[in-house]
Amino acid sequence: MKKFLTLLRPVPLLLFVSLLLLELLPLRMLHMIFLVEPETGFWSRINASVYVFFALVGVVILLPVVFSMIGKRSASLDFGRRERAAEGMAAWFFAAALVFDALAAFFYFNLILTGYARDELVVATESNSPMQYYLKSGAVAALMEGLFGAAGAVFFVTLGIQDLFRKARMPLNRLLMLMPLFWTVCRLLRRFTRTISYVRVSDLFLDLLMLAALMIFFLAFAQVLGGIGGFRKEARLLGAGIPAAVLALVCFVPRFVLLLIGKGGALSQDAPVEPCDLAAALFILTFLYGRLRFAVATEMPDAAPGSAPVQGLAGEKTAPAADETP
């Protein structure tokens, strides 16, 4: 018998989380229609489904974290030069969503600028300088979100070229790798500058959870791709990536479906449909499924002379372990 290391995708975890997502999405839609007041964002009433919803959210967050801690020593990323169509298309879709988000942020910044020029009360108040007004209204955060979003789009376009065209020589800039992280931080800051968001209890809470998970994921993402910050960052991609992707879908899908079926009145002005949430979820899931592997030790009988090499599950090749024994 010989020991081999079989490289496996985290398929069981992804499937289990997908089942949880199928429970979370309809629950969230029902809450937005029947249990949340559109005007204030407060729960009009709380029943058992609310507790079930947040219990499932807790499982979605904690389970990947525990799984990543257990498998942190065996996790690795596949950096082989090959065509990755799904990841490349997801990267380009994310780039397009970042451009859309950047334009929306610049538009909001322009509204704040023109609004300040017309606001005689603010101008007449000495305690509110233009910079104070821009900071409190979220104009500075919106401007930085637009700039970092545009730079992040350049990064994902480059990554998509690498994934879709195997022979392309497009080096990834380490500074651009940080742009998605900075873009997420600015989105988080804008949540704290929206006064109305503090009474949108359910929307704000889910948004903050999603953005926190995205920040951790993009930090580990930049560290792994840039080869900085030490080792064992691969498992952190799973621990933060799956919660970020699921929460992004929970934020996007119910709002989008309600808008399609003519229930847009249940949406708050400060909690609109944001395509970047969907794009981030799709990119994270395709990236994790396509690249993340966990080495699992298996024992196999000695191959007969002249036989074909052994392959692992899902067509993954296996390699002899370092402590190979006859």
Going by pLDDT thresholds of 50, 70 and 90, the confidence category of residue 21 is very high
Distance CA 291, CA 277 (A): 21
**Residue 180: predicted pLDDT:** 96
Average pLDDT over residues 31-47: 78
**Residue 121: predicted pLDDT:** 46
Going by pLDDT thresholds of 50, 70 and 90, the confidence category of residue 145 is very high
Beta bridge mates, 298:
4
- pLDDT tops 90 at residue 103: yes
- pLDDT tops 60 at residue 262: yes
Q: Are strands 2-8 and 292-300 parallel, antiparallel or unpaired?
A: antiparallel
**Residue 264: predicted pLDDT:** 79
**Residue 292: predicted pLDDT:** 78
The number of folded domains in the chain is 1
**Residue 308: predicted pLDDT:** 44
Q: Are strands 292-300 and 75-77 parallel, antiparallel or unpaired?
A: antiparallel
Going by pLDDT thresholds of 50, 70 and 90, the confidence category of residue 229 is low
* Mean pLDDT across the chain: 79
Going by pLDDT thresholds of 50, 70 and 90, the confidence category of residue 286 is very high
Measured on CA atoms in the order 21, 23, 26, 32, is the torsion positive or negative? negative
Q: Phi/psi at 126 (nearest 5 deg)?
A: -70, -30
- pLDDT tops 80 at residue 85: yes
Tokens of 102: 């950047």
Q: Is residue 13 part of a domain?
A: yes
**Residue 200: predicted pLDDT:** 47
Helix H or strand E segment including 135: helix 130-137
Instruction: Quickly count: other Cβ atoms within 10 Å of residue 272's Cβ.
Output: 11
**Residue 263: predicted pLDDT:** 84
**Residue 198: predicted pLDDT:** 46
DSSP class of 311: B
Q: Is residue 112 part of a domain?
A: yes
| Residue at 31: amino acid letter | H
Q: Is residue 37 part of a domain?
A: yes
Average pLDDT over residues 220-241: 80
CB 263 within 8 A of CB 33: yes
Q: Is residue 213 part of a domain?
A: yes
- pLDDT tops 50 at residue 93: yes
Q: What is the pLDDT of residues 168-198, one digit of tens each?
A: 666 778 899 999 999 999 999 988 876 554 4
Q: Is residue 325 part of a domain?
A: no
Distance CA 201, CA 251 (A): 13
Instruction: For helices 275-291 and 234-260, give the axis angle rounded to 10 degrees.
Output: 140
CB 218 within 8 A of CB 187: no
Residue ranges making up the domain that contains 65:
2-320
Q: Is residue 176 part of a domain?
A: yes
Average pLDDT over residues 207-226: 92
Average pLDDT over residues 154-163: 92
CA distances from 4 to 133, 171, 295, 315 (A): 63, 34, 9, 15
Distance CA 159, CA 221 (A): 13
